[in-house]
Chain A
């Protein structure tokens, strides 16, 4: 039983605990705002240095030794072409792998190994993908220092992201849906094609957007395979006005990309190059933010539509 002196001590202790809780709540709130605030300040600084530099001339010019005349034309064209290769490889392979692992693969040691492998790949530094592409795609397969090699390197990099997103999207569909389809006599593929894929498209699309957003911002693997930083020409066009109307020459062309161009300008002394870098960075951030924003909206929309 508590003596009255003890009681007063307990009261003091209890109120101290409450005030500690209050203080930690305040500190946590401030740290949260502070962390986000630091990002905001950095981005505002970027905008302040680079916003004025973005105009049509900047978007449509090639890089130049004279910073005032330089632009990011070859860079964003290169990025688009790279993304075409990356997407056309990573998306089918990643979604297929996700479906296979989630719906078909038996639960045994081999599947365990594949899963450990995927989670390890997600943690491999991006530059190692560049080294692999250098040895394998550039030299062994003789693709050269080309868009194909770069696109494949990035595809390998984002493959784990697509696989995980596909699996998570499929996992949210309850088992009863699958069982209903099987009970009606569907084959596994029919269940996937008719039921599971349509319901999980939102989640898969979200994952694909996030994967591509990551790929657009990557520069280390591209530098390693030899993406040149000074490209004053565009790769050959994929579509021709004469037969056979489609060309694949562009795949083997040297290239540059937005993050590479920014890296090149950041490394040069002088305010004008720095403001070019800021402009390129701002452009890159706008793309990244809109893709991430689109992914978040898509995820909310998909979650709201289907209620299990």
Chain B
């Protein structure tokens, strides 16, 4: 039996093979990017970690790797990251969760449709602009309340970071809550519970892994934030947990050194990759935790 379209069929098959190859390259691209990040961080920070004994990272009190008598206490940078993240979470988690409960269990569908994209806008604002807000809009206001507040403070940066992170919590949190089946809620309503009671006692526990993954991703975002803290929290590493002071975070340190001259292989060059490696490990941990929690939530549904 002769197939009338044999030859054009062969062409189609050839095109198919070529296109699959091209598309597969795309599929590999994302893996290559991860590979690139990991390889670069490892190779460029390796000299630093080889030269600096690991103990000093924890025992030194200050982080001054570029000084003539360098100190390698990375705790100073970690303190800055932790405090700013902590302040941000104090804003984002309560407000974000409240908004998630309100939008999921109380608000009318039309209200939700209008408000959700507007909340997403909060995370679309460029971080330099948030940095401007923290330094030049919020800090003066805070200084009226607490006149001793320095120009650069972890409090101001942390508060603005918190506002930026709210959509991360609200969006994922609300999605998780809405996936809890109505049948479960009806069981509680039929016993005479009210909307808030059902939300807190039945929906919240039922959506918990999804909410937890939202919280973890919010933490990861806060830890990795750069511009807001570089602009508003200060660029001087300082080992303090007082949010009313200025301090540098891991990310701010990288920015500060990058603003200067960075010849390849110099101490400054190696130190920012070392800081970058620490940052990568931290956010990798949080991202994997968030991924596992999200998987557990989907399985529970």
Contacts and interface: CB of A to CB of B under 8 A. Distances in A.
Whether chain A touches chain B in the assembled complex (some CB pair under 8 Å): yes
A20 B23 contact: no
A156 to B, nearest CB: 5
B286 A123 contact: yes
A121 B34 contact: yes
Contacts of B29: 93-94, 96-97, 159
A132 B40 contact: yes
B33 A159 contact: yes
Taking residues whose C-beta sits less than 8 angstroms from the other chain, chain A's interface range is 35 or more
A127 B276 contact: yes
Interface stretch (B61-69, B225-233, B239-247): B225-233
A181 interface: no
A127 B224 contact: yes
Interface stretch (A57-65, A172-180, A259-267): A259-267
Nearest to B294: A119
Contacts of A116: 291
A120 B125 contact: no
Interface stretch (B52-60, B72-80, B177-185, B255-263): B255-263
Contacts of A225: 258
A171 to B, nearest CB: 15
B283 A266 contact: no
B293 interface: no
B128 A281 contact: yes
Contact of A117 (B24, B30, B262): B30
A218 interface: yes
A232 interface: no
Nearest to A216: B126
A11 to B, nearest CB: 11
B41 A132 contact: yes
A124 B280 contact: yes
Contacts of A101: 27
Interface string A199-212: 00000000000100
B31 A117 contact: yes
Given A42-B133, A263-B231, A120 B276 contact: no
Contacts of B41: 128, 131-132, 135
21 contacts: A20-B194, A20-B196, A32-B103, A35-B119, A36-B115, A38-B163, A46-B132, A46-B137, A94-B29, A96-B22, A96-B23, A97-B30, A104-B23, A116-B291, A126-B226, A132-B37, A139-B264, A213-B124, A216-B126, A219-B126, A274-B136
Interface of A: 14, 17-18, 20-21, 24-25, 27-29, 31-32, 35-36, 38-39, 42, 45-46, 49, 92-101, 104-105, 114, 116-121, 123-132, 134-136, 139, 156, 159-160, 163, 187-190, 210, 213-214, 216-220, 223-226, 229, 259, 262-263, 266-267, 274, 277-278, 281, 284-285, 288-289, 292, 296
Interface of B: 12-13, 15-16, 19-20, 22-27, 29-31, 33-34, 36-37, 39-41, 43-44, 95, 98-99, 101-103, 106-107, 115, 117-119, 121-122, 124-129, 131-133, 135-137, 163, 166, 192-197, 217, 220-221, 223-227, 230-231, 251, 254-255, 258-259, 262, 264, 272-273, 276, 279-280, 283-284, 286-288, 290-291
6 A-B pairs closest in CB distance:
A125-B224, A28-B102, A96-B26, A217-B126, A17-B194, A97-B26
Given A104-B23, A124-B287, A277-B132, 9 more contacts: A25-B102, A35-B122, A97-B29, A114-B30, A163-B30, A188-B16, A220-B230, A274-B136, A281-B132
